[in-house]
Each structure stands twice: as structure tokens, then as C-alpha cells.
Amino acid sequence: MKIPRGALALSLLVVLATAPPAAALARRLTFGEVVDRGRTILVGTVVSSSTRWGEGHKMIWTDYEVTVEETWKGTSLRSVVLSFAGGTVDGRSILVSHVPRLEVGATYVLSLNDLRRLYASPVVGAEQGLFREVTEEATGERILLDAEGWAVALGPDGELTRLAPTEAADGFDAVTLRRDAPRVGPTATERAAPRGIGEPVYSDGSGNPLPAPANGPSLAAAASRGAATGGKPLTRSALRQAVQGVLAARERTGR
């Protein structure tokens, strides 16, 4: 049975849109592998984007022009054009699961495959070697997010871990971290209750009870959301240092 071309294209989009999670498409890479596999690791800002049909009109490609600020590995470049599978041309769209989309004006740290070859995603591990630099609204600090918008940190073992999802805040590239942190003191409902509270009440941001910490604050202590649960969000300088550490270790061992 001959399938109409339009139906085939629709089927392709449905398959792509319902593809399994990234873990089923690409093995999760260690931080060392993200560094090792990157032929080029750079920091750059996207200044423009455009879409086009590929050879034979089989795939739409989105080309991003990136102005390079720093090069951590590979040949230093002033600018580079990166091509990602997917996009919209003349009212027709192709969506490729787990191929990241970049935003004009945004700054990224990118671990990239061999730029002389064409990949669905030039980013190492499909999307694992991409980090977007944003401003955390609460602190004004520039931090890095993974491809799905999570704040990340480097754990004691040198591996990347997720801290919290984020949501857009006022201003371009400003975000708020949506993480629950300990709360000290009674809630408004507890304060209105007829019985008093003799000791501080500890709970997480969802109201679930937490055990009292050793040497905890008194009732007179001001409520505070405190530091991030799970560690400090990763910054560009911290990631640069970690990349340099991996490269130096490889050089020492000759691997």
C-alpha cells in the first residue's frame, strides 16, 4: 500500500514528538566524558538564527550564529555557526526529540562534537554538553542551567547533579529557583491556634515536618529560607575550573 507523503511526514512528527526520554536515546555521560568527547568547549552568545531545508528537502536545519567569548578546549574561534536538526520553513515544521533549541541573546557553555561533521545535535551527548548561563533573581549571581532548565552543581565526586528546576523571572535570562528549603517558626494557621507552641516547628517548603536540627535557632530567630538544598548552583568560573581539572588530569596520565 502506498502511503501519501503528507501522512508519512505526519507520522514522522508523531514518532518524534512521542520519543522516549533522553536516557533511552543516549547513554548518560559522566562529566569526564562530556569534557573528553568535546572537540571544542566554548562559551558563546547566540546573535542570530535562521532555518533552511537540508539536502534533498529531507530535514529542516536551524543555524545559530554564536559569538565566542571564551574557548576552554580546542581551537580558539571568534564566531561559529552551529546547525541543529529541526525547525520551521515555509509553514512546515520538524521537531526532533532531545535536540536542544538555542535562544537569540542567550549565553551558553557548549561542549561540541567535531564541527567538520554534521550531527542532529552538535552538542556532546545530544544535549548533555549544553549549559545556559542565567541570572538567579534572588542573589543576582550568574549560574548555569542544564538543557531542561534545572540548576546544577558539581558533587563531591566531581559529577554533575541537579539542584532544582527554575522558572522565568522579570528580565531577560533571569530565573527563580523552585526549591523547597527549611522554614523556621509556626505557620499563620499555627499562630492563630488557641494553643501555644513551646518549641520551633521545622518543615520543608511543602509543609512536611522535619526533625529539629542540633543546636537549632530559638523562637526569636527570624525565618530564613537559607541556602540551596543540595549545594551551590554551578557558575561559569566553577565549571571552567572543573573542565581545566579534567584536562590537566588527562594530560598527566596521557589518556
pLDDT tens per residue, range 167-208: 999 889 999 998 764 444 445 554 555 544 445 555 554 555
When pLDDT is cut at 50, 70 and 90, the band that residue 209 belongs to is low
Report pLDDT digits (tens) over 3-28: 344 433 433 443 333 333 333 356 88
Secondary structure of the chain as H, E, C letters? CCCCHHHHHHHHHHHHHCCCCHHHHCCCCCHHHHHHHCCEEEEEEEEEEEEEECHHHCCEEEEEEEEEEEEEECCCCCEEEEEEECEEECCEEECCCCCCCCCCCCEEEEEECCCCCCCCCCECCCCCCEEEEEEECCCCCEEEECCCCEEEEECCCCCEEEEEEEEECCCCCEEEECCCCCEECCCHHHHHCCCCCCCCCEECCCCCECCCCCCCCCCCCCCCCCCCCCCCCCCHHHHHHHHHHHHHHHHHHCC
For residues 101-112, give the mean pLDDT.
Answer: 97
For residues 69-91, give the mean pLDDT.
Answer: 96
135 pLDDT above the threshold of 70: yes
Report pLDDT digits (tens) over 22-46: 333 568 899 999 999 999 999 999 9
Q: Sketch the domain layout of the chain as residue ranges.
A: 29-178+230-253, 180-227
Between CA 8 and CA 232 the distance in angstroms is 47
Would you state the pLDDT for residue 221? 31
For residues 122-142, give the mean pLDDT.
Answer: 96
For residues 151-170, give the mean pLDDT.
Answer: 92
